[in-house]
Amino acid sequence: MKNLAATETEKSQNTLPRSMGLALATSVVISNIIGVGIFTTSGLLARNLSDPVLMLGSWVFGGVLALLGALCYAELGTQFPRSGGEYAFLREAYGPLPSFLSGWSSLFAGFSAPIAAAAVGFTEYLSFYFPSLKTQGSGAMQGHFLPGQWTAAFIIVLFSALHYRKVKVGGSVHVGLTLLKVSIIAVFILCGFLFGSGSIGRFAPTIAPERWIHLTPVLASSLIFIMFSYSGWNAAGYVAGEIKDPGRNLPRSLTYGTLIVILLYLAINALYIYAIPMSEMSHGQGDSDAVIRVAEIASQKLFGLNASQFLNLIFMGTILGSISAMIIAGPRIYYAMAHDGVFPKALSKIHVNFRTPGNAIVLQAIWSIILVFTGRFEQLVTFSGVVMVFFSALTVAAVYVIRKRNGGARPAYSIWGYPWTPLVFLVASFWILVATFRAMPWESLAGFGVVSSGIPFYFWWKRKNNKQC
């Protein structure tokens, strides 16, 4: 009896409590999506597409894909309500190797790279006030560490330390940051259209519609930036094991969070177009690095320099909220893997006092900081984007696998529009991946290289565990 009690105590100590309600779960989705992407990638899109109608249409297309993906994840999450997201779902559908590779890629690309990119984006906006903090200058290209890179690393350390503590502590801060960012973005959009200096004429197409078909390859590869900006629509799945009443709250948090973000994204991109001539948006007013700071340029055009000094602080605050959300979600994957015995056991340890996966949080922070010092913003976006789209598609395909295994029976929560909903997502994802690989082969190869590099580690780990048995 003593050994049984000790086993139960150890199990309890290494189990994450269900302490997240609907508000926190939805805020995790919203803040995982709204981050550095919406304040940076529109300039990259304008550079590639050069047409406001195509640009807005791309955001609509990406939003629909995100919503379709969220519906598919909701079905999987209600059937398997445990932490880990894709890792947990792929394990159920395909077995241990694909699920291991998804978790491996989440650590080395899927979460750590977006965290690094967000920290770099934050520091780029901070350089508006302190020009020496640029992270994309020539020094970084020559292998010298810049003050801005050290600043980005500090931001990662700060928020990792915050979420190392109790979920109740970090969660309350996170919900507040999410409410603040949504409210401020909505006010910025409203004030921009009502009081800003812009032009409705900038919505007129700059490329004849009959020529759009020739831009299909460019459009497809540009969607990698949009899907990066929408990444996070699946965030509630990563913390499903900590959500109260997951059968009810998980689908709602995924759907509500994604819909709110789609509306905000369309509105703020319309505001960018209203405020900035397409040529300036795509070339950053002669400063190539300023293409990243598209929200800063828009605020200058709409309200003048004095207002942009204040608004930049707001943009930076929303980026911090995104960093916070990703630091919450990512470690739950590595915790789940270690709990299953396919990652070092130390990562399954729950902090005795704080009840958080502390070791997993520390590991993620270390790798994110390494990426800050080794990659440029656009490289980080593409590198992580191809991996996220690939595993999202593989996970959505798992809906078919699970249903077939269950004899075609409808689960308690069923996707609207099945079987067409997941099929549309899969076809679009394949199109995006092929076009991105053709347009940016080296960054794409780096992403898939991270995936394949986990294969020998998986078999080494499996052989090691077999010897210990």
Residues 257-271 pLDDT 10s: 999 999 999 999 999
For residue 269, what pLDDT is reported? 93
Q: Predicted confidence band at 139 (pLDDT cuts at 50, 70, 90)? A: very low
**pLDDT at residue 263, as a whole number:** 94
Q: Which residue has the higher pLDDT, 398 or 17?
A: 398
Residue 397 above 90 pLDDT? yes
pLDDT on residue 289: 53
Three-class SS of residue 20?
strand
pLDDT for 288: 46
Nearest to 458 by CA among 374, 342, 344, 378: 342
Per-residue pLDDT at 345 exceeds 70: yes
Side-chain-side CA neighbours of 459 within 13 Å: the count stands at 4
Confidence of residue 393 (pLDDT cuts 50, 70, 90): very high
Domains and CATH numbers, the chain: 17-462 (1.20.1740.10)
* Rounded (10°) CA dihedral 68, 73, 74, 78: 160
Q: Is the pLDDT of residue 338 over 80?
A: yes
Cα separation, 469 vs 108, whole angstroms: 29
pLDDT of 53 above 80: yes
Cβ-contact 388, 136 below 8 angstroms: no
pLDDT reported for residue 6: 42
Question: At how many degrees (to 10) do helices 305-339 and 358-374 cross?
Answer: 130
pLDDT above 90 for 425: yes
Strongest mean pLDDT among 136-140, 185-189, 221-225, 465-469: 185-189
Q: What gap in Å lies between CA 180 and CA 266, rounded to an integer?
A: 19
Q: What's the chain's average pLDDT?
A: 81
DSSP 3-state assignment of 243?
strand
State the distance between the two ends of the chain, measured CA to CA, in whole angstroms: 24
Structure confidence by residue, pLDDT tens digits, 100-130: 999 898 888 888 888 998 898 888 888 878 8
User: CB within 8 A of 458, min separation 6: which ones?
Assistant: 96, 97, 100, 101, 104, 342
Confidence of residue 60 (pLDDT cuts 50, 70, 90): very high
Q: 10-24, 27-41, 350-364 — which is least confidently predicted?
A: 10-24
Q: Is the pLDDT of residue 9 over 50?
A: no
pLDDT at residue number 310? 74
* More confidently predicted of 111 and 241: 111
pLDDT category of residue 423 using cuts at 50, 70 and 90 = very high
**Are the beta carbons of 28 and 253 closer than 8 angstroms?**
yes
Residue 133 reports pLDDT greater than 90:
no
Task: Check residue 304 and give its pLDDT.
Answer: 78
CA distance 43 to 54: 13
pLDDT value at 444 more than 70? yes
In the predicted model, what is the mean pLDDT of residues 294-316?
78
Q: Is the pLDDT of residue 467 over 80?
A: no
SS3 state of residue 456: helix
| Segment 152-186, tens digit of pLDDT | 999 999 989 888 775 555 556 667 777 877 888 89
Confidence of residue 306 (pLDDT cuts 50, 70, 90): low
* Structure confidence at residue 366 (pLDDT): 94
pLDDT given for residue 85 in this prediction: 75
- Work out the average pLDDT over 370-388: 81
Q: What is the pLDDT of residue 245?
A: 83
